[in-house]
Amino acid sequence: MGDVAVSMSGSTHPPLRPFGLVLLLGVPALLAGLVNLSMQLPPGQWWHALIQPDATDIAELLVLYSFAPRLVVSLLAGAALGLAGALLQQVLRNPIASPTTLGIEAGANLALGATLVFAPVLIGFGREWVALGGGLLTVTLVLLLSRRSGLAPLVVILAGMVTGLVCAALAALLTLFNSHYLAGLFLWGAGSLSQQDWAVPRELAPRLALMGAAALLLLRPLALLGLEDGAARSLGLSLKVSRFTALAVAVALTGSVVASVGSFGFVGLAAPMLARLGGARRLGTRLLVATLLGAALLCLTDQMVILLSSSSGMLLPTGAVTAMLGGPLLLWMLPRLNLPPHTASGLIAPTAGTGRPFMCLGVLAVVLVIAAVLSASLGPGLEGWSIAAPGDPVWSLRLPRILAAIAGGTLLAVAGGILQRVTGNPLASPEVLGVSAGAAGGLVVALFVFDTIDRSGQTLAAMAGASLALVVILALARASKGSPERVILAGIAIGALLDSLVSILMASGDPRAMRLFNWMTGSTYGIDAASAASSLAAAGLVLAALPLVARWLEILPLGDASARALGISSLRSRSLLLALAAITTALATLLVGPLSFVGLIAPPLARLVGLRRPLPELFGAALLGSVIMAVADFIGRSIAFPWQLPAGLVASAIGAPVFLWLLTRKKT
């Protein structure tokens, strides 16, 4: 878990010098800023507008109270996030750590939204304290969950990712039920740097200076934290105190930015990586360069956003555009990073295979039937809880959405099981690898490109997006020999691209955007009988195809040489299996959205109950995924009646704690 190295394999050019990379980003940012400024005011009036503006000249006032503070805020916020990311990576000895991957930004956003709804009086004490509290609680939970693994990089990031997902799901629920109150918070949380005065720069500047001074005082402890724990203790370092202090500084930097201007996630991840890519090896140099790169990166992005907004007339959230640029940047950087070796095989405790898989599958099938019948029969109404019988109108209304939820859970679980078998990675799933995000992205593009699109067109668009995401992921996995850290980073990048796209579309004011947001939360509310029947038929066809590929799933994890010796073409079999995974993911995404964690937790749960062979495992995962989604739909329909909670978000709330429990189990 030592320092990450940067490889420039395949290139004959030496690594860029650290401060040369700062100039490489800073100069275009400066030029873009000058272009934007000249579009607002002639160069001859610049100095006068900043020093002694004419109160009757609107252009000069806009430059002084809007453009200039926005420029300063972009520099300050970018610098704070760059420094926070560098601190987190050093403290945790984790090259993937950042305010985004550790869930700090999501926790801060959730804390702000929850406080506005349930305790608005606390906002009067300062938004930054609310955001700081949310960020600290999140990172504390992540570290507690990953403590038993010795803060292994992959475990920390998975814990952070899942915790961040739960926070995002809860924030989405708050937004759905308080859209009139929190719609502005949702868009602001996407990262908006628009300013009307100098209040935010005056708040951020002293905080950044204070936290920068604290980081400077922590240089020696931080350098020792880069060593193994035993070596650091032998040199007299108190690990708990040093880690907590450095983490508090990083969270304070992140919380200040989130409370002031929203989230700009990829800056905290990309800036430290770029610093390493530029050749910054010494800790002090790396912290400084990451700070400067964060400022240059966010400033450049914001100036480009201003140019685009001026030409298109659409106000774009800078944080969403930053993620859209940061995703491809991260994908480009992945092959150039030598990540510490780590295996994921010990994250999920193995169990002995049961000798009676059919009995186990039978029990799961009975549980599913009971869950479906109870969900269709029981529920609250205008006169309280009641029991409905088959044929009743209420039963007829409930049954289609239950069947659709079951179909979605089946498809996601099968896709997750196939991906875990094919990649040999027990942490692979449509959600983690970005396949669900790719399917959702394809559907988003289709909805906004075509005026009208039917169900078959939506399915094809989702399949195309899922397939494209799979191709990117597998190309990176092959180049990195299956490194789980790289695969997860690629999934994070693709997921961030989708999130940024949705944020930009919602900021556009298009009426389709809110419908898109409702769908992405995984609502089964609008499912009719015909859609439910076709969904079940699709799930049945996928299950019927599994016996045909069971032999491939049994042999492929043994390696290409073993597959060839047994007469199996690895390329063809893998391609067909991945195509099946892409199709099932696309169909499931249309039903329950991209937010569910069913594809990640159902296969490990099936193995946990003793279903170890490929075919029983996949059928067991399908049954378990169906049960989870059926229960999620029932909870979503009942817990806040007459309001409807989307089944996808509820499934995330159910699945995330289960996965975190699996994550903390040690291999024995």
Residue 490 has a pLDDT of 73
628, 631, 632, 633 alpha-carbon torsion, rounded to 10°: 130
Specify the DSSP element, H or E, that contains 642: none
Residue 82 has a pLDDT of 93
Alpha-carbon distance of 647 to 58, in angstroms, equals 50
| 75-79, 196-200, 560-564: which is most confident | 75-79
Nearest to 192 by CA among 632, 504, 597, 467: 504
Residue 652 has a pLDDT of 77
Alpha-carbon distance of 638 to 8, in angstroms, equals 55
Residue 85 has a pLDDT of 92
Residue 296 has a pLDDT of 93
CA 551 to chain centre: 34
Alpha-carbon distance of 20 to 8, in angstroms, equals 17
Name which of 61-75, 202-216, 430-444, 612-626 the model is least confident about.
430-444
478 vs 343, which has greater pLDDT? 478
> Residue 527: which region, alpha, beta or left (left: phi > 0; alpha: psi -120 to 50)?
beta
3-state secondary structure 585-620: HHHHHHHHCCCCCHHHHHHHHHHHCCCCCHHHHHHH
Strand partners, 419: none
Task: Quote the pTM value.
Answer: 0.76
Among all chains, which residue has been given the structure tokens 């300050």? 76
Residue 356 has a pLDDT of 76
Average pLDDT over residues 380-408: 82
Alpha-carbon distance of 75 to 204, in angstroms, equals 10
Alpha-carbon distance of 13 to 655, in angstroms, equals 47
Q: How far is CA 376 from CA 122, 364, 401, 630, 634, in A?
A: 42, 18, 9, 10, 8
pLDDT higher than threshold 90 for residue 620: yes
CA 153 to chain centre: 17
pLDDT band at 75 (very low <50, low <70, confident <90, very high): very high
Inter-residue contact 524 to 591 (CB < 8 Å):
yes
| 107-121, 195-209, 545-559: which is most confident | 195-209
Alpha-carbon distance of 129 to 139, in angstroms, equals 15
Nearest to 410 by CA among 544, 237, 234: 544
Average pLDDT over residues 411-419: 89
Q: Cis (ω within 30 of 0) for the bond into 642?
A: yes
200 vs 15, which has greater pLDDT? 200
Alpha-carbon distance of 603 to 420, in angstroms, equals 8
Share of the chain above pLDDT 70, in %: 80
pLDDT higher than threshold 60 for residue 534: yes
pLDDT higher than threshold 70 for residue 567: yes
Classify domain 357-434+521-664 at the CATH superfamily level: ABC transporter involved in vitamin B12 uptake, BtuC (1.10.3470.10)
Q: Read off the pLDDT of residues 250-296 as tens digits, 9 standing for 90 and up.
A: 999 988 888 888 788 778 888 898 888 788 888 888 999 999 999 99
Report phi then psi at 379, rounded to 5. 165, 160
236 vs 31, which has greater pLDDT? 31
pLDDT higher than threshold 50 for residue 668: no
Alpha-carbon distance of 578 to 417, in angstroms, equals 11
pLDDT higher than threshold 50 for residue 665: yes
Residue 76 has a pLDDT of 94
Nearest to 600 by CA among 459, 442, 413, 453: 413
Inter-residue contact 250 to 215 (CB < 8 Å):
no
Average pLDDT over residues 190-205: 84
Helices 318-333 & 283-312, crossing angle to 10 degrees? 130
| 264-273, 292-301, 517-526, 653-662: which is most confident | 292-301
| 6-20, 261-275, 418-432: which is most confident | 261-275
Residue 2 has a pLDDT of 42
Among all chains, which residue has been given the structure tokens 């040999």? 424
Report phi then psi at 384, rounded to 5. 100, -170
pLDDT band at 482 (very low <50, low <70, confident <90, very high): low
Mean pLDDT over the full length of the chain = 79
135 vs 566, which has greater pLDDT? 135
587, 593, 595, 600 alpha-carbon torsion, rounded to 10°: -20
Average pLDDT over residues 411-423: 86
Q: How far is CA 234 from CA 147, 228, 237, in A?
A: 21, 10, 7
Inter-residue contact 327 to 266 (CB < 8 Å):
yes
Report phi then psi at 616, rounded to 5. -60, -35
Residue 503 has a pLDDT of 65
The CATH code belonging to domain 5-332 is: 1.10.3470.10
Residue 294 has a pLDDT of 93
Report phi then psi at 5, rounded to 5. -105, 160
Inter-residue contact 655 to 628 (CB < 8 Å):
yes
Residue 623 has a pLDDT of 94
- Residues 6 or more apart whose CB falls under 8 angstroms from that of 502 comprise 444, 513, 516, 517, 520
Report angle CA 5, 10, 13 to the nearest 5 degrees.
Answer: 80
Q: Read off the pLDDT of residues 587-608 as tens digits, 9 standing for 90 and up.
A: 887 777 766 678 888 888 888 8
84 vs 638, which has greater pLDDT? 84
Share of the chain above pLDDT 90, in %: 14
Residue 9 has a pLDDT of 39
DSSP 97: -
Contacts 24+ apart (CB under 8 A), 366-371: 367/623, 367/627, 368/406, 368/623, 368/626, 368/627, 368/630, 371/627, 371/630, 371/631, 371/634
pLDDT higher than threshold 70 for residue 544: yes
- Residues 6 or more apart whose CB falls under 8 angstroms from that of 561 comprise none
pLDDT band at 507 (very low <50, low <70, confident <90, very high): low
Residue 287 has a pLDDT of 92
pLDDT higher than threshold 90 for residue 51: no
Residue 336 has a pLDDT of 66
pLDDT band at 502 (very low <50, low <70, confident <90, very high): low
pLDDT higher than threshold 50 for residue 435: yes
pLDDT higher than threshold 70 for residue 3: no
pLDDT band at 206 (very low <50, low <70, confident <90, very high): very high
Domains 5-332 and 357-434+521-664 share a fold: yes
pLDDT band at 515 (very low <50, low <70, confident <90, very high): low
Residue 624 has a pLDDT of 93
Which residue ranges make up each domain of the chain? 5-332, 357-434+521-664
Contacts 24+ apart (CB under 8 A), 2-6: 2/93, 2/226, 2/228, 2/340, 3/93, 3/95, 3/226, 4/89, 4/95, 4/276, 4/337, 4/338, 4/339, 4/340, 5/276, 5/337, 5/338, 6/276, 6/277, 6/279, 6/336, 6/337, 6/338
Inter-residue contact 415 to 584 (CB < 8 Å):
yes
Residue 483 has a pLDDT of 58
Secondary structure E strands in 171-226: none
638 vs 540, which has greater pLDDT? 540
Alpha-carbon distance of 592 to 604, in angstroms, equals 21
Among all chains, which residue has been given the structure tokens 């240059």? 296
pLDDT band at 318 (very low <50, low <70, confident <90, very high): confident
